[in-house]
Amino acid sequence: MKKIMFSLLTGILLLLLAACTRESNQANNQTNSSSPEAETQLTVKAVNYEFDQQIYRLKVGVPVQVTLDNEEGNHGLRIPDLGVKLDQAHPSTVITPDKAGEYEMSCSIPCGPGHKTMKAQLIVE
């Protein structure tokens, strides 16, 4: 009976050790494979039904940390052509715009009667 209990406890400990090691490796992989380090920052401030600027500018090929700052209300930021979707749970991301052009920015969370007009433009030069 003691041998069975010892074997059972040893098996459980090995399973726990394997699970902890796997979680630790996954966390390290996520940290090491993150986005490139940002060289510049773009903070977009949102208040009810508008962003703090109508036009934002970035440089082609320069990694930038895009951050949404909700100053009033509950808003999101979407730039579909650059794969950006920010909200209060995920307020920041690093992107590297690789193509010059004009990109539409809009609020991604229905925020009231002015939601449909809550837009801005991002120009990548």
Alpha-carbon span 106 to 113, nearest angstrom:
14
pLDDT tens for the chain, residues 1 to 125: 666 765 665 555 555 555 554 444 443 333 344 557 999 999 999 998 999 999 999 999 999 999 999 999 899 999 999 999 999 999 999 999 999 999 999 999 999 999 999 999 999 99
pLDDT per residue as tens digits for the range 24-58:
444 333 334 455 799 999 999 999 899 999 999 99
Q: Give 113's DSSP letter.
A: T
According to the model, what pLDDT value does residue 36 have? 72
Q: Which residue has the tokens 């002015």?
A: 114
Q: Which of 80, 37, 42, 62 is nearest to 125 (CA)?
A: 62
